[in-house]
Structure 1
Amino acid sequence: MNVMYKSTRGQAEAVPASQAILKGLAEDGGLYVPERIPALEVTPGQLKGMSYQETAYEVMRLFLTDFTEEELKGCISRAYDEKFDTREIVPLKEADGAWYLELFHGATIAFKDMALSILPHLLTTSAKKNNVKNEIVILTATSGDTGKAALAGFADVPGTRIIVFYPKDGVSPIQEKQMVTQKGKNTYVAGIRGNFDDAQSGVKKMFGDKALAEELDRAGFQFSSANSINIGRLVPQVVYYVYAFARLYEKGVLKDGEAMNVVVPTGNFGNILAAYYAKQMGVPIGKLICASNDNKVLYDFFQTGEYNRNRPFILTSSPSMDILVSSNLERLIYKIAGEDAEADRKMMQALASDGRYEITEEMRARLADFAGGYASEEEVAEEIRSLYEKTGYVLDTHTAVASCVYRKYRREQEDGRVTVIASTASPYKFTRSVMKAIDEKYDGMPDFDLVDELSRISGTPVPRAIEEIRTAPVLHDAVVEKDGMKEFVKKVLAAPGSDV
């Protein structure tokens, strides 16, 4: 049975999956959501014997119903291949009573690889299916990890260009080096003088600029998105929660009918929304625990029912979570509003104009699947140090937020369920913060000396992604004002005979 995609704002027509992937954002400014969440058609017994690629097909075919079996299996096989440093793709590691789902074994050592390895293939397949003649311009804002993963995924992909904006002083040194050294004739990167929310707002504004769209179309271009607002990123993320359940069931950690809790370090809300979709599909998941850092806008939302971005923006050691406008939350708001597009639209308008909105008591009651928690900078550092001293296992700063929140939740709620923690980045991506947390003596050491020391104390090899940037030259040095993003895009796309 076909699954169509409709806008959360209700003023755009429903489209098949391939068109939703191509558009990224609906014409009315809303996010595409499936008209229904399909139920899994395989049993736990069948799932436990499947590879990651086989699991991906069983999940994604139910959402991307206008893709043929050959098309979808082709996208999956090209995405989840030797780019990953383990055949498992996402290993599960047990440490001190929790299961860490390692989502960082791809080309850029962060969880964004899980979706951004396949998105270019889904997008180019979608373009062929819909006879798109324009060159597709991927326009992306990043708080650190999406940018590099998208750049790596789309580099030199025929018929595409990719432009990434990141907060110039809001990412880790390793994250920045990964982006500014990116090769590829179709890749463009610019730091902005502002924070991630400024970058994200600028990108959204360009997507909603009809005059710019017409200008681009005349020049043979059209925008699409690699941000987590694209349904082509959200659907692949559902897969790894299904896979985590299957592995725990296979190991006998989970018995028939037993549910697992999931803890996700959360910024833009896409990763935990994918876990919610997995639960809606029938995966036995108990609580979905949303872990925030000091920018705890989501924690406050789950506590009070009010979403309020009117607060100081705090730069933390977990920069990919330094977000005050969590775009994917709109998909959940739409769902708990009873799929009332007008109610959703009013709340999003209030967020844009006043920086806040409040949900009803009835909507709050529909959030029973979720719990919120947060960890301060001091608690994050302590979590990294204590888990390392206890087990030798090293967490990155984002995963440490989730790990800390997990322990607090377990203690306060006396919930002893088996728990999966989404481990969203390699500690090698945040070596300075990680190593300083383990021992203050590392403070002041050069970045790549810290990389080697982390390898020594953890007994793990330095990832290929880090080795590659040790001596790589800077290829992208543009820095723009936050209101100069549109001009940068037009300059990048300008060509002889173009009126862009």
Structure 2
Amino acid sequence: MKYNSTRNRSVSVSAAQAIAQGISADGGLFVPESLPQYSYEDLCKLKEMTYQGRAQRILSDFLTDFTQPEIEESVREAYSPNKFGGEHPAPLALQQNGDKNMYVLELWHGPTCAFKDMALQILPHLLTKSMSKVSGGKKAVILVATSGDTGKAALEGFRDVAGTEIMVFYPQDGVSPMQERQMNTQEGGNVHVCAIQGNFDDAQTGVKKIFTDPACGQKLAEHNMMFSSANSINWGRLLPQIVYYFSAYCDLMGTGEMDYEGEKVNIVVPTGNFGNILAAYYAMKMGLPVNKLICASNENNVLTDFIRTGVYNKNRPFHTTSSPSMDILVSSNLERLLYDMTGGNDALVASWMKSLNDAGVYTVNAEVKAKMDELFYGGYCDEQGTKAAIKEMFETENYLIDPHTAVAVNVYQQYLQETGDLETPAIIASTASPYKFAASVLEALTGERGQGSEFDKVAELSALTGTQIPQPIADLQQKPLRFAQVCNIAGMEMAVLGTLGIQ
């Protein structure tokens, strides 16, 4: 299988090249030339497998230049029980929701307590194997822009991985205290962290600019280095996320919930950069029976407006919310969706991306809008709605959720009220442990944000709810702070080169 650039489909590279490079030189994102197709018989076979077996099968269909032992080793090392607290890294929790069951897909059992672990525990294995195939011995310099969870998950995944250096940029006032502490206490000799004076979109734009700057790339090449990415712009980050949607559906087949061929589910995803819900879209295109992809946004509701109107307009106020991983106005992975929905019209996609860059806005054509209307439902949830969903889920189901999952639950309830679709089971992507946002969850439950340090609030939340503090959060209190660097947006490239010792 080969991979094309969304902005120039004549670019055709191997999976290893796409993963090692991260982003195309033209600024486009790599996408597979075609998608493997899974029949009902294939789903029945996947149903009988472990999560690890399902991952091996799906990854093998995309990574055709990898050997089977390479894929098996990557999956085995990434999803070992000691990293995810059990044999199943992405279990379903059954919750009642009115007249119809909804199923919470818990994606936060990994070492950083966020869904990014599902991809970032395997990406280092895929990247190092890719580098050995295509880089000629170069060191990979991994740049990451994070709105909170990706940064820590990437740092943990690449900690002391040979042949790599990783640098994470995060908005100085745009992540939760726990997310910030997770990053700034990160262990490892090859890890680096820097806050920026700006928001996530500034960090993401700055990283993309560094990636596509030929002069900066040349400086790295002179020192036998090359850039790569651990953000979801990297296909190696996005691909593993497809697996857990198939796995969740197969688990429902195993319980009898999905009891006939072609029975559909709704998939609800709290969405910022559009990568997580794009993985669900690809799963649907591969044959997973999906009725609606429900895109849940917080007050930064640029995606809701886009899905409903066909106009993407980032020229709006930026809101800092209790669900910071969704505080995003430029959703990078949307470019991949547009490429697919236009039948691979790279010139049209490039023109829309240019308009977004130049004017902050673009409008899709009627054909794309009609396809989105058929497949997607877009909704958003304000801060009051987020708090209400946390409180309601705990009081009615004795189930504790974080603010991002709460946004998804709220928007799913809006969908039910608007459509009356009580017949279709729903899978809710639960993307983070509530203990990463203890103050916000406490406020939702009690009206108060708790007293003392962040760890005092964690303890208070545990005592109040009778739930267990995840071990990675508990261990964090004793770790010393290692990083305190701050730069402005213009200084990001200098920060990277300085960290690498390149003048």
Match of 2:34 among 21, 33, 36: 36
Identity %: 50
Cα distance between partner residues in 1 of 2:333 and 2:472: 28
Cα distance between partner residues in 2 of 1:457 and 1:77: 37
Task: Note if contact 2:450-2:460 (Cα within 8 Å) is conserved in structure 1.
Answer: no
Give 2:273's aligned amino acid.
N
Partner of 1:474: 481
Normalising by structure 2, report the TM-score.
Answer: 0.97
Alignment pair present for 1:410 and 2:416: yes
- Ranges in structure 1 where 5+ consecutive residues have no aligned partner: none
Partner of 2:47: 48
Partner of 1:393: 399
C-alpha displacement of 1:440: 1.5
Cα distance between partner residues in 2 of 1:87 and 1:179: 27
Task: Note if contact 2:164-2:190 (Cα within 8 Å) is conserved in structure 1.
Answer: yes
Partner of 1:13: 11
Task: Note if contact 1:170-1:315 (Cα within 8 Å) is conserved in structure 2.
Answer: yes
Secondary structure at the residue paired with 1:13? Answer: strand
Partner of 2:301: 296
Cα distance between partner residues in 1 of 2:72 and 2:264: 29
Partner of 2:434: 427
User: Residue 482 and residue 145 in structure 1: after superposition, are their counterparts in 2 closer, same or farther (change >3 A)?
Assistant: same
Partner of 1:312: 317
Match of 1:336 among 333, 337, 341: 341
Cα distance between partner residues in 1 of 2:296 and 2:111: 25
Task: Note if contact 2:450-2:457 (Cα within 8 Å) is conserved in structure 1.
Answer: no
Match of 2:447 among 440, 443, 446: 440
Question: How many matched pairs?
Answer: 494
Cα distance between partner residues in 1 of 2:320 and 2:281: 28
C-alpha displacement of 1:40: 2.4
Cα distance between partner residues in 1 of 2:449 and 2:345: 53
C-alpha displacement of 1:456: 2.8
Cα distance between partner residues in 1 of 2:89 and 2:462: 21
- Ranges in structure 2 where 5+ consecutive residues have no aligned partner: none
Q: What is the correspondence of 1:226-241 to structure 2 with a 5 Å cutoff?
A: 226-241=230-245
- The two structures, once aligned, show a CA RMSD in angstroms of 1.1
C-alpha displacement of 1:442: 4.4
Give 2:184's aligned amino acid.
V
| Stretches of 4+ aligned residues off by more than 6 angstroms | none
Comparing 397-406 with 3-12, which one deviates more in the overlay? 3-12
Give 1:373's aligned amino acid.
G
Secondary structure at the residue paired with 1:190? Answer: strand
Task: Note if contact 1:234-1:271 (Cα within 8 Å) is conserved in structure 2.
Answer: yes
Cα distance between partner residues in 2 of 1:446 and 1:297: 34
Alignment pair present for 1:192 and 2:229: no
Spell out, residue by residue over 1:60-113, the C-alpha distance to the aligned partner (whole angstroms, 9 max, x if none).
111111111111111100100111112211110112231100000000000000
Cα distance between partner residues in 2 of 1:437 and 1:191: 28
Give 1:398's aligned amino acid.
H
Q: What is the correspondence of 1:242-321 to structure 2 with a 5 Å cutoff?
A: 242-256=246-260, 257-321=262-326
C-alpha displacement of 1:12: 5.6
Give 1:377's aligned amino acid.
E
Q: What is the correspondence of 1:62-77 to structure 2 with a 5 Å cutoff?
A: 62-77=61-76
C-alpha displacement of 1:179: 0.1
Give 1:69's aligned amino acid.
Q
Give 1:462's aligned amino acid.
I
C-alpha displacement of 1:371: 0.8
Give 2:412's aligned amino acid.
Y
Match of 2:118 among 111, 114, 119: 114
Cα distance between partner residues in 2 of 1:12 and 1:115: 28
C-alpha displacement of 1:455: 2.1
C-alpha displacement of 1:363: 1.1
Cα distance between partner residues in 1 of 2:485 and 2:299: 30
Partner of 1:153: 157
Partner of 2:356: 351
Partner of 1:79: 78
Spell out, residue by residue over 1:422-456, the C-alpha distance to the aligned partner (whole angstroms, 9 max, x if none).
00000011111011101124444432122122223
Alignment pair present for 1:457 and 2:461: no
Cα distance between partner residues in 2 of 1:187 and 1:468: 19
Alignment pair present for 1:94 and 2:94: yes
C-alpha displacement of 1:378: 0.3
Task: Note if contact 1:40-1:59 (Cα within 8 Å) is conserved in structure 2.
Answer: no
Normalising by structure 1, report the TM-score.
Answer: 0.97
C-alpha displacement of 1:145: 0.3
Cα distance between partner residues in 2 of 1:237 and 1:132: 29
C-alpha displacement of 1:45: 2.3
Secondary structure at the residue paired with 2:11? Answer: coil
Task: Note if contact 2:3-2:31 (Cα within 8 Å) is conserved in structure 1.
Answer: yes
Alignment pair present for 1:61 and 2:60: yes
Comparing 347-356 with 84-93, which one deviates more in the overlay? 84-93
Give 1:280's aligned amino acid.
K
Partner of 2:134: 130
C-alpha displacement of 1:131: 5.0
Task: Note if contact 1:4-1:17 (Cα within 8 Å) is conserved in structure 2.
Answer: yes
C-alpha displacement of 1:342: 0.4
Alignment pair present for 1:375 and 2:363: no
Task: Note if contact 1:180-1:475 (Cα within 8 Å) is conserved in structure 2.
Answer: yes
Give 2:169's aligned amino acid.
F
Secondary structure at the residue paired with 2:143? Answer: strand
Secondary structure at the residue paired with 2:349? Answer: helix
Q: What is the correspondence of 1:479-498 to structure 2 with a 5 Å cutoff?
A: 479-494=486-501
C-alpha displacement of 1:11: 6.0
Cα distance between partner residues in 2 of 1:99 and 1:474: 38
Give 1:55's aligned amino acid.
R
Secondary structure at the residue paired with 1:100? Answer: strand
Cα distance between partner residues in 2 of 1:210 and 1:233: 24
Give 2:164's aligned amino acid.
T
